[in-house]
Amino acid sequence: MFSINTLVNCGTFELKFYLKDGSQTPLNSAIFDDRRGPNLFATKLVTNISYVGVYKITYKVYLSNVAKYPSTSVE
């Protein structure tokens, strides 16, 4: 989703997914699978029809060292 083209290393990035509701509500783990090891983000196979619907999703990317870089993020 992004690339670094600089000689300065600011540290690692964090990436978090949320519902796009203005409140950064976490995604329902019964529906969404967010595994960082293999960088997999997917929907799960579920049989509960109460989960049927439209889910608007957003994400936020920011530097892990927020104490040093508090305002560096992209949403």
Q: Residue 43 sits in which domain range? A: 13-47+54-68
Tell me, yes or no, whether 41 lies in a domain: yes
Tell me, yes or no, whether 7 lies in a domain: no
What CA–CA distances, in Å, run from 53 to 24, 49, 50, 56? 19, 9, 8, 10
Quick: pLDDT tens for 17-65.
Answer: 899 998 989 999 999 987 766 667 788 888 999 999 999 999 888 777 7
Tell me, yes or no, whether 37 lies in a domain: yes
- Which carries the bigger pLDDT value, residue 23 or residue 11? 23
What does the pLDDT read at residue 48?
A: 93
pTM exceeds 0.85, yes or no: no
Tell me, yes or no, whether 24 lies in a domain: yes
Tell me, yes or no, whether 74 lies in a domain: no
Tell me, yes or no, whether 36 lies in a domain: yes
Tell me, yes or no, whether 2 lies in a domain: no
SS (H, E, C) 4-73: CCCCCCCCCEEEEEEECCCCCEECCCCCEEEECCCCEEEECCCCCHHHCCCCCEEEEEEECCCCCCCCCE
- Domain count within the chain: 1
